[in-house]
Copies of this chain bind each other. A is one copy, B any other.
Amino acid sequence: MTNRKEASKAFLKLLQEQNFYKQNLQLLQWDSHTNIPSKGLQQRAEVIGYLSEKLHQSQTSEQMKYYIDTFMEGSEDELLQALAVECKTIYDKAKKIPSQLQKAYAMQISKAEGVWAIAKEQSDYALFKPSLQRMIQLTQEMADCLGDKNQRYDTLLQQWEPGMTTEKLDGMFPALRSSLIDLLGEIKKSKRVIDETVITQSFQIDQQQAFCLQLLSNIGFDHEAGRLDTSVHPFTFGIHPDDVRITTRYDEYDLRQSIFGVLHEGGHALYEQGFAKAIMNTPLAEVSSMGMHESQALLWESWIGRSKPFWSANMPMLKKYAPQSFQQLTAEQMYTSLHHVNPSLIRVDADEVTYSLHIMLRYEIEKLLLNDELTVDELPEVWNEKMEAYLGVTPLNDREGVLQDIHWASGYFGYFPTYTLGFMYAAQIFKTMEHEINATSLIETNQLTDIKDWLTTRMYKTGKRKEPLQLIQDLTNEALRPEYLIEYLTNKYKDIYQF
């Protein structure tokens, strides 16, 4: 018994050390995206490589194996057991992949990302094709090391979304897809013209910044445990729940860039600031899944930030911060202007109606690629066909088509579905919040920290202790269903586009 107690102390100490490496890596990465002078990048890559290896060695050490075996089962301490399970997942994954394959994969990513950047720049898919072919092949090898050869895609998907399967996705996505296509059809038929010019007025950047900081305070972001910076692409780095750093970007004539960047990353940040003290400095102090992470970004950005009550509550504040503009703008106009739907070629520019159609297409295609049911030669044609079928637009070149995303070059196969899962989780969670705490009226009165507190208690503090499907079940008292997202989008856009 004493031995067991000592072992548990040593186990927690080892996890804390691993956490120190992770905090370090996060800071190194954050700094690489914000502050580092250009010549420093080469050294930085080496330092990051070295620390990653140290972390990996610790995660796959004999010592770690011993703790996993000791605490995996029959532990009276539920936390220790959960930690052992999480450590086993990391351990097994690392042990199952031969180090030579791991190395070849890492090198191929680095190479493929380089080729992809050039190919995209030159809009030349042929240039990228051999790299993509090799990435698919290595990804297949990796997947086959980790799981059943017949469930390759599931294996990859579960790296980002534990517990999720192709079968489950295929039970939800088609209904969502056809609803979205129908909804888009109705919107296209609508004669309603949405005037976006009412919001593309000058808003001084330092004032935008002050406004964004205030918004962050309003949603309950803890400024003493985080910071806001500027970068080309908004991002979130959670170094530690006490140090979560986000960025946004500013455009004097487009406040949407900064405001929705801040609310999106702010949502990610609230999740990361909200982990319970009990799991801090352990591998359970992480988000449940990428889909769940995205759900919080979307919930705060769209369900809250793009809602009518939000702008009723915040219009006076906007007018105060932008005294030269927006003085005649009503909350209703603001709200409407934020919901212009326009099928575009580019995923990252998509609105909330068409976004998931971009995802479906990618999901369907990457599944075919990994199962050898589609070749890289056939890829652009299928891409373009699906774009036409789902969105009614066809790319004129590779840059706006198959080359637009870095994901496949980076080995992020199985990642795309998490975006749409994020939308679905957000819709279902918001529906529950509506029932339980009357979320809309809290938004109307700007009591947003009540919403944050509810989410923290019910979700954020749990960290990685629950898999996403369990988490959504516990949160909402039912399994994940696409209906809430369909309902949300249909009601919203019926109202706006008047059909």
Contacts and interface: CB of A to CB of B under 8 A. Distances in A.
Interface of A: 17, 20, 23-24, 27-28, 31, 35-40, 42-44, 46-47, 50-51, 222-227, 239-240, 242-243, 245
Contacts of A223: 37
A222 B39 contact: yes
7 contacts: A20-B47, A23-B47, A27-B28, A31-B31, A38-B224, A40-B242, A43-B240
B39 A225 contact: yes
A51 B24 contact: yes
Nearest to A22: B47
A43 B227 CA distance: 16
A42 B227 contact: no
Contact of A239 (B20, B40, B240): B40
Task: Identify whether the interface residues of A are mostly helix, strand, loop, or mixed.
Answer: helix
A30 to B, nearest CB: 9
A227 B50 contact: no
B23 A242 contact: no
Given A20-B50, A24-B51, A39-B242, 13 more contacts: A17-B50, A23-B43, A24-B24, A27-B28, A35-B227, A37-B242, A38-B224, A39-B225, A40-B242, A40-B243, A43-B240, A43-B242, A43-B243
A83 B301 CA distance: 55
Q: How many copies does the complex hold?
A: 2
Contacts of A224: 37-39
A223 B38 CA distance: 9
Contacts of A23: 43, 47
Contacts of A17: 50
A181 B51 CA distance: 54
A226 B37 contact: yes
B51 A20 contact: yes
A427 B351 CA distance: 66
A338 to B, nearest CB: 31
A226 B37 CA distance: 5
Contacts of A40: 225, 239-240, 242-243
Nearest to A226: B37
B37 A243 contact: yes
B37 A227 contact: yes
A277 to B, nearest CB: 12
Contacts of A47: 20, 23-24
A47 B35 CA distance: 21
A33 to B, nearest CB: 13
B42 A242 contact: yes
A240 B47 CA distance: 11
Contact of A20 (B27, B46, B242, B243): B46
Contact of A36 (B20, B50, B51, B243): B243
A272 to B, nearest CB: 12
A47 B51 CA distance: 13
A199 to B, nearest CB: 29
A43 B245 CA distance: 15
A42 to B, nearest CB: 7
A239 B36 CA distance: 10
A255 B355 CA distance: 53
A46, A225, A242 interface centre (most CB from chain B within 10 Å): A242
Contacts of A51: 20, 24
Contacts of A50: 17, 20
User: Top 10 closest A-B pairs, CB basis?
Assistant: A40-B243, A39-B242, A39-B225, A38-B224, A39-B224, A20-B50, A40-B242, A43-B240, A20-B47, A23-B47
A271 B337 CA distance: 56
Nearest to A25: B24
A27 B43 CA distance: 12
A38 B223 CA distance: 9
A222 B38 CA distance: 10
A32 to B, nearest CB: 10
A12 to B, nearest CB: 14
A44 B240 CA distance: 10
B24 A243 contact: no
Nearest to A34: B35
Contacts of A243: 36-37, 39-40, 43-44
